[in-house]
A = this chain, B = another copy of it.
Amino acid sequence: MPAPATPVLDLSASSVDLTRALCDIPSVSGDERTITDAIEAALAASDHLELTRDGDALVARTDLGRDRRAVIAGHVDTVPINGNVPTRFETIDGREYLWGRGTVDMKSGVAVQLKLAAELVAPAVDVTWIWYDHEEVGEELNGLGRLARERPDLLRGDFAILGEPTRADVEGGCNGNMRVEVRARGLRAHAARAWVGRNAIHAAAPILDALAAYEPREVEVDGLVYREGLNAVGISGGVAGNVIPDECMVHVNHRFAPSRTGDEAEAHLREVFAGFEVTVVDRADGARPGLTSDVAREFVAAVGGDPRPKYGWTDVARFSALGVPAVNYGPGDPLKAHADDERVALDEIVSCERGLRAWLLGG
C-alpha cells in the first residue's frame, strides 16, 4: 500500500494527462522520493513486471524469455522550478502544448514509458524499464550511473532507448564532452612598474586566438554527421586594479564526435593549446549512434523518420560504455529544456507513444 501522502497515478489515462500528473509532483533533483514512490505504487499491480527499487531509481523488467532485450530509460528529476508550475495547456499558432517545468525534460518521455510498461503485458522483446534520479546534477549522483556501477546486470540488453527530448525523432548516440582549464602564467608587479612583472592576461592572447581561429570538424559516424565544438565558457584573471596579474585561466568546453575517444580528444586539446598548462576538469566519452544492429534498424523502421545525431551529451553514453547500443527518443524540443517557458507539443507525446508501442508490439 502506498503511504497516504503518495500521489496516485492512473496509468490508463492518456500519456498527455499522465505527463501532466507527473509534472505536478515536484521532483527537483534530490527530491525524487515521492514521484518514485508514486510510480512504484502504480506498477505494483502489474504482475508481468519484476520491480527493483534502488534509492529513488526503479527498475521494472519483463521476463518473457524473448531472444532480445531492450532497455528503455528516463529520469524523473527536473532542474529547479522557476515559477513554471503548475502546468497548463496552451495553444500557440494552432498547436497545443503542455507548459511547465519538466514537460520537456523529461516527464512526457517518462509518461509514455510508464503507460506502455503497464499496458504491454507481452511485448515482442523483453523490456527493462528504468526510471532514475539525479540526472540534472553532478555526475557522481546520477542514478543511472549508480546502477551502472552497482547493478550493471540491470542495464544489460541488446539495445537501449533513452527518453530525452528529440522532438519525437530518433537521435543517435551523442558527442563526447570535455572541459579543460587552460592557464597562462606571469609574474605579479605593481601596475605602475609593469616592466618588473609579466602580464599573464596578455600571455593568454594566443589561447583566445587559437579558439577564435579554430574550425570545428563535422564527422560522419555510422552514417550520422556529428558537429564538434571548441569554446571558451569562462575566463578569469586579475588580482587588483593596480597589480599585474600572475595567472589567467580560460575554461574551455570541447564537444567531440563519438568516433574519437576521450584520450584522443584530450591529446588534440593539448596540441591546440601547446605551450600552456592544460588541466582536464571533466570528461565524458561520447556514444556512437547505435543504429548498426538489426534491432536498431527495426526500431527506426517502426517509429519512422530519419535518424539524426545527438549533439549534446546524454546518458546514452552510459549504455554505450557497457556495450549496449543506444539512441535518444522522446517528445519535446531540447532547446526548451531548462527554459522558463519549457513546454511540450502534445502531438509529439502522442507520436512517441505510437512509435514506441508499434515497435514493442513487433511492428
Identify the A interface with B (CB < 8 A). 175, 177, 179, 190-196, 199, 201-205, 208-209, 211-212, 216, 227, 229, 231-245, 248, 250-251, 253, 255, 282, 311-313, 335
In angstroms, how far is the closest chain B Cβ from the Cβ of A193?
6
Let me know if B248 and A243 touch, CB within 8 A.
Answer: no
User: Chain B residues with Cβ under 8 A from A202's Cβ?
Assistant: 208, 211-212, 231-232
The residue in A231, A239, A312 that gathers the most chain B C-beta atoms within 10 A of its C-beta is A231
Interface class of chain A by DSSP: mixed
Q: Cα distance A212–B199 when bound, in Å?
A: 9
User: Chain B residues with Cβ under 8 A from A312's Cβ?
Assistant: 190, 192-193
Q: Cα distance A203–B212 when bound, in Å?
A: 7
Residue of B nearest to A238 (CB): B234
Q: Cα distance A311–B209 when bound, in Å?
A: 32
In angstroms, how far is the closest chain B Cβ from the Cβ of A135?
14
Let me know if A311 and B193 touch, CB within 8 A.
Answer: yes
Also in contact, A237 and B238, with CB within 8 A (given A191-B253, A192-B312): no
User: Chain B residues with Cβ under 8 A from A196's Cβ?
Assistant: 335
Residue of B nearest to A190 (CB): B312
Q: Which of B204, B236, B239 contacts A236 (CB 8 A)?
A: B236
User: Chain B residues with Cβ under 8 A from A250's Cβ?
Assistant: 201
Let me know if A231 and B244 touch, CB within 8 A.
Answer: yes
Let me know if B191 and A255 touch, CB within 8 A.
Answer: yes
Q: Which of B209, B235, B242, B244 contacts A237 (CB 8 A)?
A: B235
Q: Cα distance A204–B255 when bound, in Å?
A: 22
Let me know if A192 and B251 touch, CB within 8 A.
Answer: no
Q: Which of B195, B240, B251, B335 contacts A233 (CB 8 A)?
A: B240
Q: Cα distance A253–B193 when bound, in Å?
A: 12
In angstroms, how far is the closest chain B Cβ from the Cβ of A182?
12
In angstroms, how far is the closest chain B Cβ from the Cβ of A173?
13
Also in contact, A239 and B233, with CB within 8 A (given A192-B175, A208-B204): yes
Let me know if B241 and A233 touch, CB within 8 A.
Answer: yes
Q: Which of B192, B208, B227, B253 contacts A313 (CB 8 A)?
A: B192
